[in-house]
Amino acid sequence: MDSDDLFLPDKLAVQAQALEANPEIGLVYSNGTFFRDDPIAITGRVLDSMPTPTGNAFPDLLRGNFLFPPVILLRRLCLDQVGIFDENPDFYGVEDYELWLRIAARFPFLHLPGDVAAIRRHENSISSHFTIHKSRVLRVLQHIEKLHPDLTRTYRQQLYEGYARNYGGLALAQLRQHQILPALNNGRLAFSYVLRKPRMGVQAFVAWWKRRKQRRAAQV
């Protein structure tokens, strides 16, 4: 966990008990709160408007990362079998997402309700560098597609949605920075994945827009 994040009381005890009670589960995750300076002054929650799958979490993770390291607890067996964080510089700042996908490809997850951590968000956080962040998330998806071709083919609609979201987000960020040609190219790529979705991705777009509005409102 990052040095400015906090475990809430009983976090380890509650999640360890859940793993003991469910021996088939590889990773258990719960909710957590966001704060800026005072942990009591909550600005949002990790799982606000996010999916909370139990069992096969791989397809939901292809759409986007909904986990932060402090809210999870996993078995060492997972790391023994899939490896630890990949220190490839291309994954810097998103190496947790890449690891969750590798684990989810082989182990079921368990969602355990309740807050277990408090996570500080500030302007200097890695994820605030939006263009770089989105570019690295796209590299993670490309990497996972090569690592698990059969599995990503099975969940290709979720993979297409992940590509569309991140190429689209990257294009919008580049437009704000007046990087017109890269923005147009990434916008074209986003649209190409949208077209592969049922009904041209309208349902997926509406769900994304509602989630975006809810998470922004929580951070005001």
Q: What is the pLDDT of residues 143-170, one digit of tens each?
A: 999 999 999 999 999 999 999 999 999 9
Let me know if residue 206 belongs to a domain. yes
Q: What burial letters (b/e) apply to 81-110, b meaning 16+ CB within 10 Å?
A: ebeeeeeeeebeebbbbbbbbbbbbebbbb
Number of independent structural domains in the chain = 1
Let me know if residue 20 belongs to a domain. yes
Let me know if residue 149 belongs to a domain. yes
Q: Which residues are CB-neighbours of 54 under 8 A, at least 6 positions away?
A: 108, 109, 110, 111
pLDDT at residue number 130: 86
CATH code for the domain of 82: 3.90.550
pTM: 0.89
Let me know if residue 85 belongs to a domain. yes
Q: Which structural domain, as residue segments, surrounds residue 91?
A: 6-218
Q: State the pLDDT confidence band at 198, using cuts at 50, 70 and 90.
A: confident
Let me know if residue 1 belongs to a domain. no
**Segment 49-100, tens digit of pLDDT:** 899 999 999 999 999 999 999 999 999 999 999 999 999 999 999 999 999 9
